[in-house]
Structure formats: C-alpha cells, structure tokens
Chain A
Amino acid sequence: MFWRRRPSEPDRPDGDAAVPDAGPAAEVEEPSPAPDDVQPPAGPVTQRDEVQPSGQAAAPGAGAARDGDGLSAGVERSRGGFVARLKGLLGRGDPDAATWEAVEETLIGGDVGATLALEVVERARRRREAGGPVAAVRAELTALLVDRDPGWVPHRAGPESPAVILVVGVNGTGKTTTIGKLAARYRAEGQTVLLAAGDTFRAAAIEQLRTWGDRAGAQVVAHAPGADPSAVVYDAVDAAVARRVDVLIADTAGRLHTKSNLMDELAKMRRVIDRRLPGAQPEVLFVLDATTGQNGLAQAKAFHASTGLTGIILTKLDSTAKGGIVFAIEQALGVPVRFVGVGEKVGDLLPFDPEAFVGALFG
C-alpha cells in the first residue's frame, strides 16, 4: 500500500537525527534566531527570504520530527521565518504579552481566524502547560480537531455493493485533480474504480476527468456537456453495480455555496444515490483549498446542509498557505479532514495527520 509509506506517528524511527519530539526541552535547545528576527518584518516575502535558513534549521524540532513525511515535506517549504521568530520568542522562558501576541499572529496568519485564535490563546494561557506556550497552543489546537480513524476506508454496504464517494466544493479547489488521485490510490490497492463525470457545466471538465481516468486506470461514465448531473450519477450507480466495481467516485461541478439552485442540484445528486442504492451511505467529501480564508467555514456549512458531508480533503497544502480554517470547520461540523493534497502528481494525496498539521502551522 504505497499510500501508507508515510506513516503518521508511532513508527517513527528512533535513531532519527532530528529532535525526536516537539517537547519543551527541544524548543529551548533550538538555537535562537538573531534578535532582529523577532521584529515583525516589513513584508512576508522579505521576511521569508531573510529567515529562511534558520526557519529550515528549526523545522526538525516540530513538523519534521514526524520523520520528514510528505505532509511535512510539502508544508515545510512553506514555513516562513515566523517560525524561527516564534521559537526565538517562546524559547526564552517566561512568555510575556508580546510572546502571546506573536502566537496569536501566527494563528491568524495561518487563517485560523481572529476569533478562534483569541480563544485558543486564551485557553492555552490558562492551561499553564508545563511544556511552555507552544506545547500549550498545540495541545489546544489538536483538541479542536475531531477524533478520526487513521485507517479510514469509504463505507461499503456489503461486499457486493460499491463504496460511493461524492466529491463537492466551490469552484477551483481541485475536485477533479483530487478524484484522479483518489482513483489512483484505490487502483493501487487493487480495487476497481469507476468515475462519474458529474461536472457537466464547466467547459472540458469531462475531458479532464477522462484524462485522469486513463492515468489511474479507471473507467468513466459520462454524458454530453450540459446534461443533468443527477442523470449521470444515476447511470454511474447502475453501472457500478452491474460492473461490480469496488469504488464509485462522482465528480461534481464547482459551485459557490451561496447559489441555492446549484446547492439544490447537489442535494438531488445525493438523493439519487440514496434512492438508487439504499444503504450505500455515500461518503460526501468536501474539497477545500488551503489558501481559502474565513469564507471556508461558510462554504463547509452550506455544503454540509445540502449534502451531509462525511469528510474533508484539504488541497494545495504544498503552497505557502496553512489551511487554518480547518479548525473552525471541524469544530463546527464535527467532520474530519481525511486527506491532504500536497502536489500535482498522482501520488500527492496523503492521509491527514493532525499532529503534523498542527505542527506545520507553527513550523
């Protein structure tokens, strides 16, 4: 199982040269960056350039302690000097108000959201964690995430019944690409995969899905552009049953969550699956772009209301963005992130690792 090649926690090699854990002792032992790094730099880019080396050096203490796995590797590059600055601040014994402000800014800068960031910092302060502020904030952040089974597989009503995955999200988050990666993942496990070209609206979306289908070795059920997407799903469900495929993945057109007619259309696609395959309990995966800001919560809520989300896929985590809005979403909906997208290649979809994700926010 190639996608397991980056295990999340316990089997971390002990002899790893990196600092084994983000423990407090480790934080203190980090070489502190030069004091001028502590000043908020003028702009993010300069900041990144200036502190890049120390930021990289500091990285093993936190995120990359998880054996340099793909998520960290992807996100590591995106860590700026903020990390180094923060570590410098936090490593110096007694945290003062300025330190907490820096923590708060890190969270806000990572799109956690101002209100939630204030709450988390407040709780972390009260916590008086022995391990120091970073450990306290990390613990609070991890606590915000819902419990998830790392060995999650999509639900199947029975051995004869396919797992059904409906992929939804706003425009441009990477739904079709993610489906290609998902298909490749299940194919690599030896499962048969059928793709439903449910995006009948965007020009060439069907072609794009076909290309991914070819790459992954998955069949594609498609109608003509402009066809009713529910009809595509209807046919795909029948085809999946007839051909006895293991996994059916349905693409949908990107839609802004504020367009009620389009959200109704999505709800109908879900109903078609439920009716055509009673007991299938489709997995509805919400694809969220990690560069999304506070609007991500409104998106997730709207999609949850119309289709009943069962999971989230956070894409483009290989960018400089941290995807902090996920905390608010998991907290509000209780729906876990299942996968993260960390690149454009077929293998760049990894199981979500809460520890690594929280760590990456701090670097």
Chain B
Amino acid sequence: MFDALSERLRRTLGSLTGHGRISEADVDTAMREVRLALLEADVNFKVVKDFTARVRDRATGSEILASLNAGQQVVKIVNDELTALLSAGDRTLHLAGNPAVIALVGLQGSGKTTTAAKLARHIVKIGRRPLLVAADPYRPAAIDQLVTLGASLDLPVFAAPAGTSVPEIGRLGIAHARHEVRDTVILDTAGRLTLDEVLMAEVTELVRAVRPVETLLVVDAMSGQEAVAVAQAFAAAVPLTGLVLTKIDGDARGGAALSISAVTGLPVKFLGTGEKTDALEPFHPDRLAGRILGMGDVLTLIERAQDAFDATQAEKAAAKLQSGSFSLEDMLDQLQQVKKMGPLGQVMEMIPGLGGMARQAQDSVDRGDLRRTEAIIRSMTAGERRDPTILNGSRRRRIAAGSGTSIMEVNRLVKQFGEMQKLMKQLRGGRRLPGVFGR
C-alpha cells in the first residue's frame, strides 16, 4: 500500500533536522520519493519529470525553516507547487448567454450523464431554470437514463426524435429552451474515444453549432497515465473551459487531474463525490494536493464533521466527559455520530499521519466491531448504561445473548469503558478538555 509521502520523507530525511541547508544528496533522495509518490497517484510521468525538476530547483540550497525539518520542508515545497498547479485557470462556472449552454464531453463511463443531472440540480440551487438535453443517441438507454434523472429532479429533459444528427439535437435543444423559457441548457453528449475520428468530428460540429459558454471535460478520478493525452485530444477538438473530476469518493488519489491541469492549464471546476444527484462539490486545489500526496484532507474532514455533528450534542458530551458522568449511553451517541461521517477508514485517511491506520480502522469496521459494540450497549437497560458497575454475571449473560455476542465481548467492553472513565477522572482538574471528536 502507498505510504503517505510525508511519512516517507520523514523516514528518509527526518534525521536531518538541525542542518542549516538541504544538501544536494538529500534533495536527490527526496526527489526519488516524490517521483514514486506522484507516479503511484497516477500523475503522468512526463508531468512528474517537469514537476520534480522544478521542486528540485526550489529545494536545493534553500534554507530550512526553523520550525520544520528537512522532510517537512520538502513536503511544504511539493505541496505549494502542487497547489499552484491545481489552482490554474478560472474555476467559476460561467453562465452568460440566453440560454447559457454547458456541454459535457468525455470518454465512455466517465460519468457525464450523472454529472449532467448534478449540474442541473446545482443550477436550480443558484436560482436558474435548466433544461437537460440528451445528445447521446448511441448508448442504449442513455436517453432514458437522463429522462429518469430529470424526472427525479422534477426538471424537463429534451430528447430529439431518433435519427436526428447530434449538432441538430443541440440546435433543437436550444430552440426548445427558448420556447420553454429555460435559461440554461446542459448538453449530455455521448462518450467517445479520442481515436474515433468520426465521433470527435461530430463533437466539434456540435460545439460549433451551440457555442457553449462552458465546455467541461468529465474525467474519472481513477484514470491512469493516458488522461493527459485524452484531455489534449478533446482540447484539440473543442475549446474546453474546465474539468469535472468524478468518482473522487473512492480511494483514487486523482493524480490525473493534476496532469491535465499541468499540461493544458484547464481548471477543475467541480468534483463528483457520490452517486446521488446532490454529490457535486466545488473544487479546492489545496485539498486535492494533500490527497495526491497522501497528506490527509483535514479540511474536508472538519467540514464533514461539522455537517454530521450536532453541535449541542457534542458540547453536552464534552461537558459530561469533564464532569465524569459520561455513560455508555453517551458513548452510543458518539458512535452514531462517527458513523454519520462515512466509512471510518475514509475518515482516518483524511487525518495526516493516520493514513496507515485507515486500513486497520476499516478492517475493524468490516469485522463489525463498531456494530457489535453498538449491539451490546443497545442490549443493556437504561440503568445498566448509566452505571455499568451493576452488571453481574447474570446480566452479562443476558446482554451477550440479546446482542448476539459473547460474554467475553461484553466483559471487554465494560472493562474498556471502565478504563476510559478512569482516564477521564485523571485528566479532570487539569486543562479544559476538548470534546471527543473535532470540537
């Protein structure tokens, strides 16, 4: 498994703290690690070459900041450069024209149709009236898919009669939008291979016919080395204005986006973060940079935590911890809150330095540890949850049977909880305790 770059560099360069400058040899070592890390993240090897050359220049002989060791210094330079690259271009979604036309293009299976629906929903949210236009007459049921998605959003979908040429579908779609007073047209085009000259010429013609204000290339975050060539081929066929990076909710590092931005200068405008139509997020260069480096994505974690956590509940839990009255009931609440934030492994991955633990955590979830803990607590009476000291052998047997676990597991949980309470008591009286999670 891929180690976080910062971890790797800490291993190779960590001992260098205290040297005044980073030596040439140190930089070489570091660049090897940086190169591997970027390649494992699917950054194109040519981009990696340029990139490491640039970082090497900056790192060689640069002063090590007092607060950082050599490894951290290199990570900082790499991170700065990555963020700069990813910040290329203008990330706002332009909606000039009446109707404003947005065209989505890309390879098969990159997520164009789903993205079209997500964009439509986004556009409704900002107070506009979108029309979805199905411009994929090739894939079986592609039009049905868009119609279904449109219906689920309560939005109109325009589909031309079978046999209509694709540029004509675009023209008719725009005319239909004017007629129905829709101010934004979202064109869902067919997936096409860049080698397919006929289809590439077709998309060129379509774009010429409808003059979109935004022509977005939809790119799968799991794409490999060819992503750059694909983007260049599309850029040659149509004037692209940006990228949508989809399926970023998996564990791909998304280096393809970096490659494309670096080579074409196109900005990433949106991220597709799930299968539902609301899973479209604005793009933050610094976060993707961190993700590519495996440095964790603390900001997204905090945002998710803020979304998932009920602030007052968290305050209460913190207060209870401090007063030592934190019960199994509260623990159950906390468990539920954590679950709301998504797969635990994914959550851990976002915390710098915990990348390695992510798998472990996910394993424990997969084994059902959390669910079992939950089941055990749920099998207790209110009285037992408040005061586990009353749990005698007979009660424990009942709880084990009720939760489908073993007495051993019940014992373990009670013991763990006891130790936790003890720890809390020791900490009490000292500095103010922060909440259990995030606050």
Contact = CB atoms under 8 A, between A and B. Distances in A.
B18 interface: no
Nearest to B40: A294
A293 B226 CA distance: 9
Interface in B359-380: 362, 365-366
Contacts of A45: 229, 232-233, 236
B107 interface: yes
A257 B250 contact: yes
Interface in B202-246: 220-230, 232-233, 236
B366 to A, nearest CB: 6
B162 to A, nearest CB: 13
A318 B193 CA distance: 8
A3 B12 CA distance: 53
B111 A318 contact: no
A114 B39 contact: yes
B40 A113 contact: yes
Contacts of B225: 108-111, 293, 321
B112 to A, nearest CB: 9
A325 interface: yes
Contact of A115 (B36, B224, B263): B36
A318 B343 contact: no
Given A48-B229, A291-B230, A316 B193 contact: yes
A289 B42 contact: no
B343 A204 contact: no
A201 B109 contact: no
Given A207-B140, A258-B249, A172 B220 contact: yes
Given A114-B39, A203-B148, A320-B194, A208 B251 contact: no
B222 A204 contact: no
Interface in A298-334: 298-299, 316, 318-322, 324-325
B355 to A, nearest CB: 14
A207 B144 contact: yes
B107 A319 contact: yes
Contacts of B194: 319-320
21 contacts: A43-B228, A45-B233, A108-B225, A111-B42, A172-B111, A180-B140, A203-B146, A203-B152, A204-B144, A210-B141, A212-B140, A256-B247, A257-B250, A258-B346, A260-B343, A260-B362, A293-B255, A293-B256, A320-B194, A320-B229, A321-B226
Interface of B: 35-36, 39-42, 44-46, 49, 107-111, 138-142, 144-149, 152, 193-195, 220-230, 232-233, 236, 247, 249-253, 255-256, 263, 275, 343, 345-346, 362, 365-366
A-B pairs with lowest CB-CB distance, top 10: A293-B224, A172-B109, A293-B42, A203-B148, A211-B140, A204-B144, A208-B141, A114-B39, A204-B145, A207-B141
